[in-house]
Each structure stands twice: as structure tokens, then as C-alpha cells.
Amino acid sequence: MTTMENRPAAGGTAAGTRAAGATDIRTSEPLLRLTWTDPVTGAQGFLVVHTLASGLATGGTRMRAGCTMKEVEDLARGMAAKTATFDLPVGGAKGGIDFDPKDARAAEVLGRFCQAMRPWLDAHWVTAEDLGVPQHLIDEVFDRLGLEQSYHAAIRRAPHPERTLRRVQAGLNAPVPGGLLLGDVIGGYGVAQACLGAAGAWGWEHETTTVAIQGIGTMGGGAAFYLHEAGMPIVAVADAAGTLYRPEGLDVPALLELRDAYGEIDRSRLPEDVQQLPRDAVIATDADILVPAAISYAVTPDNVPDVAARMVVEAANSATTPEAEAMLAAREIPVIPDFVANAGAAAWAWWLLLGYVDADPATSFHRLRTEMQSKVAMLLGSWDVDGTPLRETAWQLASANREVLAESPDVSIP
């Protein structure tokens, strides 16, 4: 069963979607909120479409016990900000399911959710992996539905969809150093570039800039790998079982080899010099950069006094509550917001769809590195000059870009 709430809109015309997109992202109501109840388990799922551009919106689908409509709405707004910040001709949306992804029935629940959302997935909503939903699983669901791949709503608009699908699949499955695929690491690579860009803007040497990362899954693990490769010591990582700490720096590639399918590290195979601490200890780690890459609302007013880092880089969506961010700013600790720092995967996916990058990882890495580091340097420049919070500067950039994008022709997928 589904229930739906719409805000007043000008309809499905191009003019209507442009008018919606031109509204201030921070204060505008979502275009649509939809609630679904699984007829088998009773689990609830949510779709929020914040903004349509050219009739399209993009945003991942997450699954976790306790997921709420409010959470999904916040994430959809963040996706609208990501697409605008990186000048992408598409709106923002998000899907979420209140269900434990480790439950044996999780894949079936995801399948029924996607079946119920099919009208949106077929024509308007481009989705992808998110917390609790790996890309291979959502692609399997799409294949069973006859939609082939989760970018279907965009691919179907191409003059030659089969050719576009091949290009997208080639990019997603391009091998990269470390034995992984480009589509699996590009988001974490973007977070790493946000950290490296921040260090460069403030004149920090890589070899002496320490990092603590909360979460070692796709996003956190990718960020850890590329920061380690760049020479930044990763002194702490945390998963659901606790925090692993080594003040000289962890052997990140070795730790990543010890992960299971849920991003948790096998403690029985840890080196003896790795300290095992409580899960929340990562927040208080003495490091230059703290990267919350696990759950939303990880940094709160309750644990802000424990934050020892000089900068926070949000790899997880909505990782810092507004109250906590204000408290950090009062301590002169800037927060690089999620819709900049973790936008790499969304931006890259659309560059791939639009033909701006191809299956050569070097092309994708160069473009993302250049765009991410320039944006981070701009945000920190405003902070250094007059203390403007980085999120405020980023919102201004996103809203200005959305105004320009609202006057652009409809998106064309090659």
C-alpha cells in the first residue's frame, strides 16, 4: 500500500519543473512524499522527490532499521543540493526502507519496494546504492523488473539506450588499482579529495596530517584507501564492533582485506599493535581530520565536546546535526558539508551518463579531483576571510547554480 503527499506544483511541463528547481533548496517543500507499506513484513518505505529537472531526479535507496520519512526528506534535499553544487541538470530525490539489511528477507523487501516505485523508477527517479543497499543488489532487483540497471530512467531517454547502457556498465565495472571497480570506489575517492583539498588550502603536509574515519564500508573504506595512498596517516577507523586505533597509522589495505560483506573487520586477524577501543571513541580521536562516514546524525551536541579534530569532513549524509555544527563553528572547527564532500559518486554517475567521462579511471579521477578540490578551497576561503560557515557558502553556491540550471534546455543523454 502506498500513500502520497504532493506540494502544489506547475505540473509535468518543462516550465513547471524549472520553476520548482529555481526555489531556494533550503526552504522549499519537496515535490512529493510517498509512504509504502510492505504487505508481507509490514516494513515501511519512503520516496521523497525534492526537485525535478527535465523530469528527472537522482538519489540512492537506503535500508536500515529505524529509517524515517524525515530522514529521507533531509537526504532528498541534500541530493538536490549536490546536483546543483556540481552543475548537474537533474533534481534530487531519495528512497529509504525501515528494515534491517542483515535480515534474510531484506532483498525481497527491496524488490517489493522497487516494484511499488516502478512508475517513478521507470521514468523519473535514477537511484543507486546507499546505506544497507549495495549497487549489485539494486541492479539485480532492476534486472528482475526488466529495467536492466538502476540508472534506467535516464538511460531510456538516450537515442540509443543499449549503447548508453554499455557505456555506463563499462564505467561502473572499470578495474582500478587495489582490485576493486571504479563504481565502487569513486565516492570514497571524492571524500579523500575533499580532505586533500582542505589540507592543501590550509598548507598541511600530507605526511603529518592525521585522519580518523567513522565507518569502513564503501564510502569510508574508499576514502581511507585513497588517503593512505596519498600519504595521510589513518590513525583510527570504526565499524559497528568498535574503533581500531594505531597512533603511527593503520595498514589500511590490510584492514580492508579483513572486512566482511557488511563492512565490519575481523578482529581475530588484527595485528597485535592495533588497539581496540569502544565504537564511539573514534569521535574523540586526536586527529587533524574527522571523517564521519557511517550513519546520519553521528555528531551531536552530546558528543561535540569530545571532538578533538581540527576539521570535520562529512562522508555520511547529514552526519552532523545543525546544533552540533554551530557548536563546532564556535570552536573554530569547520565542517565540509555532505552535499559537497560526498557528492563524488552522484556527480560521477551523471558525468558518465552525459558522456563527460568514460571507462578510463584516470579521466574520472582527474575530473573529480579538480572539481572537488576547487570547491573545498573556495568554501575554506570564505571561512578564512570572515568565518562564514562552509555549509552557508555551499548553500549559496547550490542555489545560484540551480537558478542558472533552471533556464537551461532539457537534459540530453547521449
Which whole-number Å values give the CA distances from 344 to 250, 294, 340, in the listed order?
25, 16, 8
Q: Is 42 exposed, middle or buried (0-12, 13-18, 19+ CB in 10 A)?
A: exposed
Helical spans, DSSP H, in 202-281: 218-229, 252-257
Rounded to whole angstroms, how far apart are CA atoms 220 and 336?
15
Cα-based angle 154, 158, 160 (whole degrees, multiple of 5): 135
Taking a C-beta distance cutoff of 8 angstroms, is the pair 330, 353 a contact? no
CB neighbourhood size of 302 (10 A): 10
Rounded to whole angstroms, how far apart are CA atoms 206 and 199?
7
Indicate which residues carry an active-site annotation.
Answer: 94
What contacts 160, CB < 8 A, 6 or more positions away?
none
Q: Give residue 38's Cα distance to chain centre.
A: 26
Locate 247 and state its grid cell. Answer: 597512533
Taking a C-beta distance cutoff of 8 angstroms, is the pair 35, 3 a contact? yes
Three-state DSSP class for 191? helix
Could you write out the DSSP letters of every residue in 66-123? T--HHHHHHHHHHHHHHHHHTT-SSEEEEEEEES-TTSTTHHHHHHHHHHHTHHHHHH
Rounded to whole angstroms, how far apart are CA atoms 241 and 228?
22
Taking a C-beta distance cutoff of 8 angstroms, is the pair 25, 46 a contact? no
